[in-house]
């Protein structure tokens, strides 16, 4: 059986996803929502906890993708949609809220890149 190979862009994107989601979860858990109000961001503590939990869940999906699990991609897509809905619920305009879904499209695109004979998507189990 041939060893699965990951394109360098996919490797970089997965590492970025792991670091970004871990940091965002920590920030959402640690920051007081009142500190965001001067920037015009109004969030409840519950919304921040939800976003922190989604960050942890996304971290687990990125790890799953690292280990070639297809369910992790679908989980990341559902999580992106939940973040989209959460942003709309917080009053974010639809264009800005939709930008969060760009990450799912970017991930899908990077998974299509081939290293050797197969793409990352074809290597998912």
The pTM assigned to this predicted structure is 0.86
| Res 10: pLDDT | 96
Q: Tell whether 3 is covered by a domain.
A: no
In a domain, 1, yes or no: no
Q: How far apart are CA 71 and CA 55, in angstroms?
A: 17
Which residue range forms the structural domain that includes residue 91?
Answer: 8-123
Flag whether 15 is in a domain.
yes
Q: How many domains does the chain have?
A: 1
pLDDT in tens, 35-49: 777 766 677 888 888
The answer as to whether 32 is a domain residue is: yes
Does residue 67 lie in a domain region? yes
Lowest mean pLDDT among 22-31, 33-42, 76-85, 86-95: 33-42
Q: Is residue 66 part of a domain?
A: yes
CB 77 within 8 A of CB 65: no
Instruction: Kindly give the residue spans of alpha helices, DSSP state H, lying in 31-119.
Output: 45-66, 70-89, 94-98, 102-111
């Amino acid at each position: 059986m041939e060893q699965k190979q990951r394109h360098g862009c996919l490797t970089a994107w997965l590492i970025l996803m792991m670091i970004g989601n871990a940091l965002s979860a920590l920030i959402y858990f640690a920051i007081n929502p009142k500190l965001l109000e001067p920037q015009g961001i109004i969030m409840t503590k519950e919304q921040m906890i939800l976003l922190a939990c989604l960050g942890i869940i996304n971290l687990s999906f990125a790890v799953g993708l690292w280990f070639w699990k297809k369910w992790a991609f679908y989980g990341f897509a559902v999580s992106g949609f939940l973040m989209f809905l959460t942003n709309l619920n917080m009053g974010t305009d639809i264009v800005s809220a939709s930008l969060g879904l760009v990450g799912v499209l970017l991930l899908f695109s990077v998974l299509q890149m081939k290293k050797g004979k197969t793409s990352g998507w074809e290597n998912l189990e």
